[in-house]
Amino acid sequence: MKNLILMGRSESGKTTLTQVLRGEKIAYDKTQYIKFENNLIDTPGEYAQTQHLGRALALYSYEADIVGLLISATEPYSLFPPCVTCMVNREVIGIVTKSEQEGANPDRAENWLRLSGCKQVFRVDSVTGYGINDLIRYLNQ
């Protein structure tokens, strides 16, 4: 599997997705620091939400083959500005999480990710397993 770093705001589903991709049981675990295990780099949401901590994400992106920008389908806004993917010299994919949750709007989240510059967008739901196999296949190519 290619090294993947996950970036997104707090509660966007980064850690839950990481647990599912590793084959672990889903358990709430607030990420306090950048964790690099088994080809997956899980980052705290505060790093993406805070200007000064965002620099750490830029540095850790060099450890990854692919940068994954996450937006929950239940989000009322996007954290990522338009055309932000050009700031990274890695492949950047979009990942819409919580796609099957009640009240979700995966179309809106996907549009935000495409506006940010993601050409490839995956819709997943870590609880139901929706879309997980497609993402795994992509990472194993």
Domains by residue range for the chain, with CATH: 4-140 (3.40.50.300)
How many residues are given for the chain? Answer: 141
How many CA atoms does the CB half-sphere of 44 hold within 13 Å?
Answer: 12
Distance CA 34, CA 108 (A): 28
SS3 label, residue 35: strand
Q: 32-68 pLDDT, tens per residue?
A: 767 888 899 888 887 778 777 777 777 778 889 999 9
Contact 123, 116 (CB under 8 A): no
pTM of structure: 0.91
Average pLDDT over residues 71-98: 92
**% of the chain exceeding 70 in pLDDT:** 99
Distance CA 33, CA 45 (A): 10
Average pLDDT over residues 78-91: 88
